[in-house]
Amino acid sequence: MLPIFVRQANLDDLSTVSDILAEAAAWLDRENMTLWQQEHISLSVIQQDIEQGLFYIACCGDIAAGVVIFQTEDLVFWPDIIQTDSTFLHRLAVRRSFAGGSVSTQIFQWAIDRTRELGRHFVRLDCVADRPRLRSVYENFGFKHHSDRQVGAYFVARYEYEICDRIN
């Protein structure tokens, strides 16, 4: 397993984050699994998310291997839960040259550790419900299916990972 470290993206990373998302989106399109529309991964949207401190980059040495949005609130996909008890992951993407390796696993572990540091009890994420391969990645890591929900045009499966060593 290649060691990775995760750091918060800054505006100097705009093209890196954009390139990783575009590469993942192009691969998904080729596989007939379109996920993100161009407006969801446009430079202006990415820049706004970086400025808000939401994007993180997973690095293997000097190479940016993946990206993820890490949020402490998600009222769009998770409006029905207590927000202060969870963190939320979105737009996880890994460069194709690192696909099938351990980058996503290490990003998940980083998110769990960060969630624990924040004193929160769940890491939550979602995906389009008709993506069995993606769902199995989450489930194989240990995420549990929470529920399905219609969010705009998307029917999503929602997953959670409980931080077990919480203090009650």
> Is 102 part of any domain?
yes
Indicate the range of 70-74, 117-121, 131-135 predicted with least confidence: 131-135
Confidence (pTM): 0.91
Q: Is 46:57 a contact under the CB 8 Å cutoff?
A: no
> Is 53 part of any domain?
yes
Question: What's the rounded Cα separation, in Å, for the pair 70 and 74?
Answer: 10
> Is 103 part of any domain?
yes
Q: Is 105:123 a contact under the CB 8 Å cutoff?
A: no
Tens of pLDDT, residue by residue over 120-130, are: 999 999 999 99
> Is 81 part of any domain?
yes
Tens of pLDDT, residue by residue over 145-161, are: 999 999 988 899 999 99
Name residue, tokens 């540091």.
Answer: 117
Closest CA to 46 of 5, 70, 11: 11
> Is 50 part of any domain?
yes
Structural domain boundaries enclosing 113: 5-162
> Is 85 part of any domain?
yes
Read off the CATH number of the domain in which 89 is found: 3.40.630.30
HSE, CB side, 13 Å, CA atoms: give it for residue 166. Answer: 16
Look at the chain and report how many structural domains it folds into.
1
